[in-house]
Every structure is written in C-alpha cells, then in structure tokens.
Amino acid sequence: MTLMMRKIVFSLLLASTFSILSGCSQKSKIEQQGIKEHSNLAIERETDNRMSDWNLTSSDAELYIGDLGVDQLYTSNQVRSLETGSSKQALLPNGFPLIQAFPNPSIVPKQGSYVENLIDTAISYLGTPYVYGSNRLEPSSFDCSDFTRWVYLSALGMDLPWDARNQAAYVEALSKRTYRDISKARRGDLLFFTSFRGNRAADYAGLDASQKPISHMGIYLGDGKIIHCASKKTGGVRIDKIVENHFHLQYRFILGGGILD
C-alpha cells in the first residue's frame, strides 16, 4: 500500500470514528433532554383528586368563602407606602396606588425566561399549608393570593397587591394580554376565579357580575394545569388540571393575564 493510500484510509477511519462519537454525543444530549422533560412532567403532575371530590368540596367552607378582601386587613398597618406622588395617581380597589412592579434586574432568567424562575419557585412550595388570611410577611402558610404574591416576590422581587381582587385589578390595568377564555392562557399567567358554588356548569350559569366576585387565583403551568392554594381540606399548595369533566375551576374562570410579557 502506497503512502498516499495509507493516508486516505487513515482519514476515512478517523472521519468514521468522529461521526460515531458525534452521533453518540448527540444521542446523549437528546436522552438528557428527554430525561429533563420527563422530570418536569413528573414535578408538574396533578397532586390528587381532592379538588374534584364532591364529598370533600361540598363541605369545604374555605372554597365557598375564597379570598375576599384580605388586603383590607392590612391597610391600617401602613406596611406599604401610601405615597402616590400625584393627585391623579391611579388607585387599586383597596385604595393603594397602582404602581407597576418589574423583575429585579440582578436576577438571571432561567432558560431565558423569568416565567421559569416563577414556576420553579411556585413548585418549591407544593404542600405548604393553607390558612385563610395568612401572614403576608412570611411563607410558612398561604391563602391563594398570598401564594401568588409570595412567588412573584421571592422569585423575581416583584411586590404585587395582597389579595385576589386587587391582583386582578393590577393585571387588568397593566397587562398587555388579558383574556376571559381559559384556552388563551400561557405558562406563568395569573388566573382568577369566582367563588365555589358546585362542580357543575349549571351552578354558575345565569349569574351576573355582582354574583361572580373574584375570590380565588393561581398560576398557570401550561398543559391545562394550575398551581394554586385553595383550602386546608384540599392540602394547601397543589396542582390541578383545570379542564376536566365536572371540575369546577373551568366554570369559575373569570380573567387571566400575563405581567411578564
């Protein structure tokens, strides 16, 4: 075999080896991505069926009451500033100034998106107990709006209003994307619901706006799922599939919107 032919054979062998190694590396990356996606699905799966169990929900007083005006309990404490900076400053329903919050610029977006910071933090609180009117200054327990506010605060440094009604007003005023069709929800959106009245669509049919106050909320995970804190009986912070047969959240939906767009 001539020297030239040896060089050609060696080059072909080298190229073949590199191709095999490259293919293995690519396969390894695909497998790793698959493992990661599978892990995410496992973490974000529905908690259990307690939210759709009529025997439980029909006697769950906290579902019927919801979060109604918890923010009002804190206005006299002057925990947050009442300075408006202008006599024309827009106000939230609780009387506090409407001030837009933004992510802390020192926080690095995960996977290029602040939504993933938000979701990771929300999931870290799975199982945290529910307490109606929970302490807004620490995260050992939550009600629905305390949970969403604390997630935004600890994940991104954004301080939102302190109850569902005022967070809804904040979203309506400042979101570039609001909707009343649950199918338009995107991962990381805030979703708002009226009070629990039953598991059937008929339980919510024919009600006017005054009969459908916003009293519950959560964060949309995508794939039809929500992470929220509904009541003590349903186990505190949990994940549920919104659109299921005879599952009341789909009938209770009022408003959704994103504030990270």
- Per residue in 234-257, pLDDT (tens digit) is 999 999 999 887 789 999 999 999
User: Which of 131, 154, 160 lies closest to 230, judged by CA?
Assistant: 131
Length reported for the chain = 261
For 73, the token pair is 């309990």
Range scoring the smallest mean pLDDT among 58-72, 171-185, 208-222, 239-253: 58-72
Q: Model pTM? A: 0.80
Q: How far is CA 66 from the centre of its chain?
A: 18
| CA neighbor of 150 nearest in space, from 90, 229, 86, 213 | 229
Query: Strand 214-222 to strand 225-229: parallel, antiparallel, or no bridges (unpaired)?
Result: antiparallel
- pLDDT tens per residue across span 129-187: 999 999 999 999 999 999 999 999 999 999 999 999 999 999 999 999 999 999 999 99
Which residue is it, tokens 């095999």? 20
- How many CA atoms are closer than 13 Å to the CA of 159, on its beta-carbon side? 9
pLDDT at 154: 98
What's the mean per-residue pLDDT of the chain?
Answer: 83
Query: Which residues does residue 219 pair with via DSSP β-bridges, in sequence order?
Result: 190, 227
Amino acid in the structure at residue 67: D
Q: Closest Cα to residue 102, out of 180, 158, 141, 54?
A: 158
pLDDT at 178: 97
Q: What percent of the chain has pLDDT over 90?
A: 68
Residue type, 256: G
